Amino acid sequence: MTPGDRRTRWRRVGRVTAILAGILLGLPFLVLAGAAVATLVITSQIEARYPPAGRRVAVPGGHLAVIEAGPGEGAASRGTVVLLHGASANAMDPMQAIGRRLAGDGFRVLSFDRPGFGWSDRIEGAAAASPAVQARLIAAGLGALGVGPALVVGHSWSGALAATLALDAPERVAGLVLLAPATHPWPGGTVPGYAGWYRSVFGRTLLWIAARTVAAPFGLYALDRFAAVVFKPDPMPPGYADAARVPLVLRPSTFEANLQDLDGLYEFLARQRPRYPQIAAPTVIIAGDADPIVRTPVHAEAMARDVPGARLVVLPGTGHMLHYTASDAVVAEVEALAARVRAGAE
């Protein structure tokens, strides 16, 4: 082989190597581009399947979506119950679990999409991750609807929100029912290294990309598995994810809002905990002793000690989604508190 042949051969090898390197380097971008297109399609299909189920209420900075059931405004009722959903959910979750039943029993029921969830605007952007901001917006929504004081029922993340509402807008709250509530800073705080990584420019950029590419396709594939984990040790009701409109959380903007809400909760609870003795509204706290998500001794039992006169109900063998798996007990406690509030008013 002549030197010229060798040079020609190496040039060919170089060209092939460059082509292969280009393909390998470009493949991740092609995958992300495909995932981004899939996310747009999935988001469109989710919004078409789960359109707004109620009305939008104007508040400073935007609108909150609310689902209503039971006697209408001005009609005779046993009282007004406001439902506030937890993380990764929307207004339909508590409405399906206990709201329809309470409405059938004569209560006016209002279930809000929290800011950034369901069909509510993410008013104030990332600042809306604070339960204090969300409480102010929910209070404004109740004011726009002419509601208050009402029984406020908060599940999980919204245990903090409902408590904040009772502290910051007590004129809107006649009584509190906290279901498996997240109310106190937990041992160990956030996962080591997670908060710092997420809050870095790199972390936020990576999660922004993930929310718009792989999160929706992967989340849709694994949705039932994730939901089943939240119900443990109880079984998940058949058709739960569809009936509760859970896929709405997979939309990029809602996915980001959910992460922001979870990321900032620990620090907020550490600041708010000393205020709980100031809660004046009659309070009932219901939790399961088998809850693997929000530990009852850390949150519910501590809240019962901190809030004057609070009633604690611990359900044996029950997990985190007790408004579904122990709905009889939850409805009975809501109705008992309503009767207690009415008696006190009279």
C-alpha distances (whole Å) from 50 to each of 47, 111, 119, 247, 249 are 5, 16, 10, 9, 11
**283 and 316 belong to one structural domain:** yes
**60 and 101 belong to one structural domain:** yes
The Cα–Cα gap between 32 and 36 comes to 6
CB of 56 within 8 A of CB of 63? Answer: yes
**181 and 283 belong to one structural domain:** yes
CB of 152 within 8 A of CB of 165? Answer: yes
pLDDT < 50 regions, the chain? 10, 13-14, 16, 18-24, 191-195
The Cα–Cα gap between 109 and 83 comes to 7
Which residues, 6 or more positions from 345, have their beta carbon under 8 angstroms from its beta carbon?
none
**105 and 136 belong to one structural domain:** yes
**42 and 177 belong to one structural domain:** no
pLDDT at 190: 59
Q: Per residue in 298-323, pLDDT tens?
A: 999 999 999 999 999 999 999 999 99
**76 and 40 belong to one structural domain:** no
**66 and 28 belong to one structural domain:** no
**163 and 220 belong to one structural domain:** yes
Question: How many domains does the structure of the chain reveal?
Answer: 2
**15 and 135 belong to one structural domain:** no
pLDDT at 111: 98
Query: Which residues span the domain enclosing 76?
Result: 55-345
Which residues, 6 or more positions from 287, have their beta carbon under 8 angstroms from its beta carbon?
179, 180, 181, 294, 296, 299, 300, 301, 312, 313, 314, 315, 318, 322
Handedness of CA 325, 67, 265, 176 (dihedral sign): negative
**287 and 179 belong to one structural domain:** yes
Question: What six digits make up the tokens of 30?
Answer: 């092609």
**32 and 147 belong to one structural domain:** no
pLDDT at 14: 47
Q: Per residue in 127-163, pLDDT tens?
A: 999 999 999 999 999 999 999 799 999 999 999 999 9
Q: Which residues pair with 109 in a beta bridge?
A: 69, 81
Half-sphere exposure of 178 (CA within 13 A, CB side): 35
pLDDT at 198: 60
For residue 132, give the amino acid letter.
A
Instruction: Count other Cβ atoms within 10 Å, centred on residue 189.
Output: 13
CA 218 to chain centre: 19
**2 and 79 belong to one structural domain:** no
Find the CATH number of the domain harbouring 256. Answer: 3.40.50.1820
